[in-house]
Structure 1
Amino acid sequence: MIDFAELRRGMVDGQVRTNNVTDPRIVAAMLEIPRERFVPPALKSLAYIDDDLVLRPGARPRYLIEPMILARLVQVADVQEHEHVLDVGTGTGYSAAVLARLAQQVVAVEEEADLAATATATLAGLGVANVAVMQGPLTAGWPKEAPYDLILVNGSVDEVPAALFAQLKEGGRLVAVVGHGGAGRACVFTKVAGSISDRVAFNAAVPSLPGFKAAPRFTF
């Protein structure tokens, strides 16, 4: 029988703590949340490896991004306990479960009906009461519950749509990996006086999130 609690400790000690994740709230959340509940049955034994896991194969594959990268993204997001958070591309809901330990309320948007249903059921089964899973296009966010203190994008993108920036509060942050493979950069965007500033937090290679390709641009 697999000792998932031991695997969880190994993940935190070997992947999270050793990669500059120092926020004790994030460490505690990842020690307690059963990541194996958020992966397909055939992959449960791999739930704690240092790699991205396929949640949904096909032409538009979806992934659960590796633990260390998620932990670092959440850390640079600097989530506060009073904040209203949008989790874009939540997949089966693991990222929402982590954010729920840190924020007051999380809106988790998922485009694929099967993933949204799994996220809803899994979070409910774990008693996570401060997450609402919504189904809709990822690039549109969830404007009905805007504005948000923080938006987290689960996957790499060519560019962040203006629709997501529009859903930030003044002073709000958006965290996303912009670029792919070795060119990926984890960026923190901040809305200040209606304008968006950004900084690169660290290099990151994570799977692409479908739908976020840059629009073609005319060049001379």
Structure 2
Amino acid sequence: MVVVAREATAQEPQCDRERAAMVETIRTYARSDASVLGRQGPSERVLEAIGRTKRHLFIPERSCSIAYANKPVSIGHGQTISQPFIVALMTELAEVAPDHVVLEVGTGSGYQAAILAHLARKVCTIEIIPSLAETATKTLRGLAYENVSVRLGDGYAGWPECGPFDAIVVTAALGQVPPPLIEQLKVGGRLVMPVGSAYTSQQLTVVEKTAPDKTTSRAVALVRFVPFTRSKE
């Protein structure tokens, strides 16, 4: 359970209205393409988590009109906060339950981690860019997301000390799923990530671990994500 501290701003009522409108846009967008999630679209549980998460506090401009449009937003360093529908889609595909421990690779602004925090018992998130990791940590702490831990580092190796994980969400594209992440995924768990080359369309892929040494995977939709950044060391 997350209790979000209220940050009083003059634009708060406007942000509340625009956030509610964004949730309805996600719902409508999903129904217009039933091939991805079916006619029902994202679950009410996922939509409620998105509706409770103040996206405008996770972007540099802190602008409601920018934050709640259904499009990605730059957060600097060549990184973006994903389109709200894509965030909802990846969250839904991860099938996060209240008792789950979740790994996110690519913290960015901390927005996806915040949504996952409303759904899971514990969220461990890794960011390789120091300034983004620092800003995300401050934002999440300031909003009282006490079940989220942020780590600075290369997410390719995962976070073994925090796992094993019931679900893993990767927010950057790579040509293949990193084997360490599969190792840290529990049997019955799901990994969601864009698989493919950088700077082109990738396949949003769901990997399910059906046995200690067996997985199944399926491509869900074409997406375009920033490339997976590796440590140079």
- TM-score, scaled to structure 2: 0.82
Q: Is the 8 A contact 2:105 2:127 kept in 1?
A: yes
Shift of 1:126: 1.1
Moved more, 123-132 or 42-51: 42-51
| Partner residue, 2:66 | 46
Q: Is the 8 A contact 1:178 1:185 kept in 2?
A: yes
**Structure 1 residue 78 and structure 2 residue 89: aligned?**
no
| Partner residue, 1:131 | 148
Amino acid at match of 2:140: L
| Distance in 1 between residues matched to 2:65 and 2:201, nearest whole Å | 31
**Structure 1 residue 187 and structure 2 residue 205: aligned?**
yes
| Distance in 2 between residues matched to 1:144 and 1:209, nearest whole Å | 25
**Structure 1 residue 89 and structure 2 residue 106: aligned?**
yes
SS of structure 2 residue aligned to 1:40: coil
1:87-118 Cα shifts (integer Å, max 9, x gaps): 11011110010001111100011111111111
Moved more, 177-186 or 103-112: 177-186
Q: Is the 8 A contact 2:29 2:85 kept in 1?
A: no
**Structure 1 residue 15 and structure 2 residue 33: aligned?**
no
* Paired residues, number: 208
Unpaired runs of at least 5, structure 2? 1-9, 32-40
Q: Is the 8 A contact 1:85 1:105 kept in 2?
A: yes
| Distance in 2 between residues matched to 1:91 and 1:182, nearest whole Å | 20
Shift of 1:43: 5.6
Alignment of 1:116-127 (within 5 A): 116-127=133-144
**Structure 1 residue 209 and structure 2 residue 227: aligned?**
yes
| Partner residue, 2:5 | none
Shift of 1:18: 3.2
Amino acid at match of 2:136: A
- TM-score, scaled to structure 1: 0.87
Identity among equivalent pairs (%): 34
Unpaired runs of at least 5, structure 1? 213-220
Runs of 4+ in 1 over 3 A off after TM superposition: 42-45, 180-183
Going from structure 1 to structure 2, the CA distance change for 1:183 and 1:112 (only over 3 Å counts) comes to closer
| Distance in 2 between residues matched to 1:114 and 1:84, nearest whole Å | 25
| Partner residue, 1:199 | 218
SS of structure 1 residue aligned to 2:119: coil
SS of structure 2 residue aligned to 1:166: helix
| Distance in 2 between residues matched to 1:28 and 1:38, nearest whole Å | 18
Moved more, 140-149 or 86-95: 140-149
